[in-house]
């Protein structure tokens, strides 16, 4: 008996040694969700909510208390929202409740709903139709599909440092140029505090496309938009529109990039430690379209409405030595770290078209480069993570990770397990993703096994530390005891509670041929 206990204790020590992410708790196992949209939300109270929204079944909801015990497991359909047609635009917490912002086209009218759920019981606190766009007309589909005009949409973003949030009504097909974009701000009580239309400066641009926004508490909303005229590609630029507290009008700042560059995509974050908005743009040279993309990092003072610094960025040359043509990736997201430093994560990616008629997208994802910057924008260190993945029937565009922040992850035939995540932990920062164990010995030399299916993969983490460019990895959930056992993490829906240093994700376990998922709480 003593010998058996000693063996079990040794095995436990071995598992802990192989998993730096210390397990804290795990929820009950349930059937793997294979379709719909999913998200995990950690509440300030210490509770956890898991959402899955499906066309067929409505909303699956699981709630866990502060001790990580499951207290609610239910399915429901909202009263007014036709979930079958709805899109989840954002999920966040305010005052212990979950806020789901969902949009759908109801009787040809794009409509935005706000669904508020009690964070302890899951019951509906309120369900409101809060915004609508113009009724769709015959020919609108042709204009958006073939005419190069963006689809009318709603965009929602919450301030990570307060309970304020904003909604953008993007009426791209509105004939009146002065009414195509409207900004509405809300406070922590879900009350509207301000709204105004975003008009094209001097009527210069026939088309305006929304790009991103930053909410600065209750003081200001900064919306970034791309203005252009299709007849003249040289007449295009990135603009910042500011809706200030108490103002009924929007003022504009033209972001004076060099005339030769066209920064047509961007993502923005506010860095409170330096009181600046960091704008990460993807640009092209206007006279050399499709000749390569140029990443640009810009520091903006949102109060003085001016650019303080703007630089073309890339990983250092030491990253290039690991591939014949050098690192060819582009930024996918920008992260503000707790100490005011920030991180740009880039990824090699390409899209080819397959299928019988060449209409099926195939996304191929390669190496990841991570560059850490000081508060003022000086590169401090960089790392390279080797990987190779193929996603069938999935099109991933520029800044695809940034565009999905704050909303749900699509569950589609296992492709959801091929996304990576960045975690700024208390002691270290990490990259997490699923990969085959066969690549563990190939990280330096390359020639990786391409991951097409994930049945033989496990979750790995890479600590972003040390002098070496190529990072070594460890199992997130510990090294499986048997070759046929595998444990994946759905890291794209995970959430980190920095105050309590708790990371929660959805774990998919495959033991002895049996599959099941569960929420698992870890300490990095």
At 152 the pLDDT is: 81
19, 476 Cβ separation under 8 angstroms:
yes
463, 19 Cβ separation under 8 angstroms:
no
| DSSP code per residue over 452-517 | S--TTEEEEEEE--SS-SBPP-EESS---SSTT-EEEE-GGG-EEETTTTEEEEEEEEEETTEEEE
Of 498, 497, 331, the residue nearest 399 (C-alpha)? 331
98 CB burial (10 A radius; 0-12, 13-18, 19+): buried
Paired tokens of 51: 């959402």
At 255 the pLDDT is: 87
Of 154, 302, 320, the residue nearest 216 (C-alpha)? 302
At 15 the pLDDT is: 42
Residue 207: how many CB atoms within 10 A of its CB? 18
Q: Which residues lie closer than 8 Å to 45 by C-beta, 6 or more apart? A: 66, 96, 119
**Which residues, listed in sequence order, are joined to residue 210 by a DSSP beta bridge?**
225
78 CB burial (10 A radius; 0-12, 13-18, 19+): middle
- Ranges of H-type helices in 209-321: 317-320
Q: What is the enclosing helix (H) or strand (E) of 403?
A: helix 400-403
Q: Tell me how far apart the alpha carbons of residues 57 and 51 are, in angstroms, rounded to a whole number.
A: 12
Strands 495-497 and 70-76, by their bridges, are unpaired
Q: Tell me how far apart the alpha carbons of residues 144 and 178 are, in angstroms, rounded to a whole number.
A: 19
50, 85 Cβ separation under 8 angstroms:
no
Q: Which CATH number among 2.40.128.460, 3.40.50.1100, 1.10.238.10, 2.40.30.260 corresponds to the domain 37-132?
A: 2.40.128.460
CA dihedral 504, 71, 39, 429 (to 10 degrees): -10
Q: Tell me how far apart the alpha carbons of residues 338 and 335 are, in angstroms, rounded to a whole number.
A: 10
441, 447 Cβ separation under 8 angstroms:
no
Q: How far is CA 162 from CA 119, 188, 272, in A?
A: 18, 8, 12
At 21 the pLDDT is: 92
45, 102 Cβ separation under 8 angstroms:
no
At 341 the pLDDT is: 97
Return phi, psi of residue 48, to 5°: -135, 140
Q: How far is CA 235 from CA 93, 171, 256, 293, 307, in A?
A: 41, 22, 13, 19, 20
457, 436 Cβ separation under 8 angstroms:
yes
At 482 the pLDDT is: 78
Q: Tell me how far apart the alpha carbons of residues 410 and 39 are, in angstroms, rounded to a whole number.
A: 9
370 Cα distance to chain centroid: 16
Residue 393: how many CB atoms within 10 A of its CB? 14
Q: Tell me how far apart the alpha carbons of residues 377 and 363 are, in angstroms, rounded to a whole number.
A: 31
Q: Tell me how far apart the alpha carbons of residues 83 and 60 are, in angstroms, rounded to a whole number.
A: 12
Paired tokens of 270: 């506010």
55, 41 Cβ separation under 8 angstroms:
no
Strands 486-489 and 220-229, by their bridges, are unpaired
| Tens-binned pLDDT, residue by residue, of the chain (524 aa) | 444 434 433 444 444 444 579 999 999 999 999 899 999 999 999 999 999 999 888 999 999 999 999 999 999 999 888 877 788 999 999 999 999 999 998 888 899 999 999 999 999 999 999 999 888 776 666 666 656 677 788 999 999 999 999 999 988 777 777 788 899 999 999 999 999 987 766 667 777 889 999 999 999 999 999 888 766 556 788 889 999 999 888 888 888 888 888 888 999 999 999 999 999 999 988 777 666 899 999 999 999 998 999 999 999 999 998 888 889 999 999 999 999 999 999 999 999 998 777 788 999 999 999 999 999 999 999 999 999 999 999 999 899 999 999 999 999 888 999 999 999 999 899 999 999 999 988 877 778 999 999 989 999 999 999 999 999 899 999 988 777 789 999 999 999 999 999 999 999 987 656 789 999 999 99
At 289 the pLDDT is: 67
Residue 132: how many CB atoms within 10 A of its CB? 15
Of 453, 447, 451, 471, the residue nearest 461 (C-alpha)? 471
Q: Tell me how far apart the alpha carbons of residues 319 and 369 are, in angstroms, rounded to a whole number.
A: 8
At 9 the pLDDT is: 38
**Where exactly are the structural domains of the chain?**
37-132, 143-152+160-312
497 CB burial (10 A radius; 0-12, 13-18, 19+): middle
217, 159 Cβ separation under 8 angstroms:
yes
At 66 the pLDDT is: 96
Paired tokens of 408: 């749900």
């Amino acid at each position: 008996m003593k010998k058996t206990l000693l063996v079990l204790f040794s095995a436990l020590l071995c598992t802990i040694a192989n998993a730096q992410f210390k397990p804290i708790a795990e929820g009950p196992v349930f059937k793997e969700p294979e379709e719909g949209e999913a998200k995990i939300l950690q509440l300030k109270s210490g509770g956890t909510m898991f959402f899955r929204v499906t066309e067929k079944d409505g909303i699956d909801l699981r709630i866990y208390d502060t001790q990580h015990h499951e207290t609610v497991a239910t399915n429901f359909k909202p009263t007014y929202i036709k979930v079958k047609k709805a899109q989840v635009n954002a999920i966040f917490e305010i005052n212990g409740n979950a806020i789901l912002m969902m949009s759908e086209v109801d009787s040809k009218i794009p409509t935005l709903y706000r669904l508020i759920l009690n964070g302890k019981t899951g019951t509906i606190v309120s369900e409101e139709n809060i915004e609508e766009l113009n009724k769709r007309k015959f020919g609108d589909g042709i204009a958006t599909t073939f005419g190069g005009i963006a689809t009318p949409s709603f965009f929602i973003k919450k301030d990570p440092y307060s309970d304020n949030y904003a909604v953008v009504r993007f009426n791209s097909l509105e004939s009146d140029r002065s009414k195509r974009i409207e900004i509405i701000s809300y406070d922590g009580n879900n009350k509207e505090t301000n709204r105004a239309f975003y008009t094209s400066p001097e009527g210069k641009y026939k088309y305006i496309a929304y790009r991103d926004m930053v909410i600065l508490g209750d003081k200001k909303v900064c919306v970034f938009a791309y203005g252009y005229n299709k007849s003249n590609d040289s007449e295009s630029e990135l603009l910042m529109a500011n809706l200030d507290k108490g103002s009924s009008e929007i003022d504009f700042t033209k972001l004076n990039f060099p005339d030769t560059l066209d920064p047509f995509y961007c993502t923005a974050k506010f860095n409170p430690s330096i009181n600046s908005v960091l704008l990460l743009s993807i640009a092209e040279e206007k006279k050399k379209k499709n000749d390569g993309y140029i990443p640009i990092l810009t520091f903006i003072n949102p109060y003085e409405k001016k650019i303080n610094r703007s630089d073309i960025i890339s990983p250092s040359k030491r990253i290039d030595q690991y591939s014949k043509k050098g690192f060819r990736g582009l930024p996918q997201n920008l992260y503000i770290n707790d100490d005011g430093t920030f991180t740009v994560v880039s990824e090699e990616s390409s899209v080819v078209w397959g299928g019988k008629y060449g209409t099926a997208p195939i996304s191929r994802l390669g190496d990841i480069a991570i560059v850490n910057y000081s508060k003022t924008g000086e590169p401090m260190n960089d790392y390279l993570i080797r990987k190779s993945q193929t996603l069938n029937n999935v099109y991933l565009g520029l800044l695809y990770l940034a565009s999905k922040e704050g909303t749900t992850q699509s569950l589609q035939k296992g492709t959801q397990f091929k996304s990576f995540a960045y975690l700024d932990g208390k002691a270290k920062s990490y990259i997490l993703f699923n990969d085959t164990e066969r690549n563990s010995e190939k990280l330096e030399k390359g020639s990786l096994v391409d991951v097409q299916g994930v049945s033989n993969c496990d979750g790995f983490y890479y600590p972003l530390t040390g002098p070496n460019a190529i990072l070594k990895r460890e199992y997130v959930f510990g090294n499986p005891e048997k070759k046929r056992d595998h444990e994946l993490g759905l890291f794209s829906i995970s959430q980190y509670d920095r105050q309590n240093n708790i990371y929660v994700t959805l774990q998919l376990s495959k033991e002895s041929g049996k599959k099941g998922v569960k929420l698992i709480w870890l300490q990095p």
